[in-house]
Amino acid sequence: MLHLHLDRSSALPAYSQLMEQVRHYVASGVLRPGDKLPSIRAAARYLGVNPATVVKAYGELEHAGVLCREHGRGVFVAERMKAMPAKERQAELRRHARSLAVRAVQLDAPEETVLRLVTEELEALRGEAAP
């Protein structure tokens, strides 16, 4: 059973937190292409939210090419990431990298610490895929 949880005190809306967790499981390989996700109702019950909230999260992830909803059958991890133009991909990554860099400078963290953190997180994602 997939572990999902919400931080009700977070500034991010619930549907957005759910999206991030699913993205994480897909990125880490815990969820693989073709895998079935918890049904909308099951996830809603488990998280203690309204089914419509899960519908929104799953729907947005479908738009993003991460999931694939099949009427009457369920929701699945998409077989292949929707081809995003290389330029857009690079731009998205750079936005996240810049955001990290700005915080690092403000918090006065040395470059090596920042790079180490990124490496650790990348390895953590790979690690989860193993079993």
Partner DNA sequence: GTGGTCTAGACCACT
Partner DNA sequence: GTGGTCTAGACCACC
51: helix, strand or coil: helix
- By CB under 7 A, tell whether 69 contacts DNA: yes
Site string (39-68) toward a copy of itself, x via CB under 8 A: ------------------------x--x-x
- Contact partner at residue 125 from DNA, a copy of itself, none, CB < 5 to 8 Å by partner kind: a copy of itself
Among 24, 32, 41, 45, binds a copy of itself (CB under 8 A): 24
Q: Does 105 bind a copy of itself (CB under 8 A)?
A: yes
Burial class (CB in 10 A: 0-12, 13-18, 19+), 15: buried
Give the integer Cα–Cα distance in Å for 67 and 63. 8
d(CA 29, CA 129): 5
Whether the CB-CB separation of 67 and 22 falls below 8 Å is answered with yes
Residue 56 CB neighbour total at 10 angstroms: 17
CB 49 within 8 A of CB 6: yes
Provide the token pair at 106.
Answer: 């403000």
Per-residue binding letters, 20-59, with DNA (x by CB under 7 A): -----------------x-xxxx-----xxxxxx-xx-xx
Residues found near a copy of itself in the complex (CB under 8 A): 8-9, 13, 20, 23-24, 26-28, 63, 66, 68, 70-71, 73, 78, 81, 84-85, 89, 92-94, 96-109, 111, 113-115, 117-122, 124-125
Interface with DNA by CB under 7 A: which residues?
11, 13-16, 37, 39-42, 48-53, 55-56, 58-59, 69-75
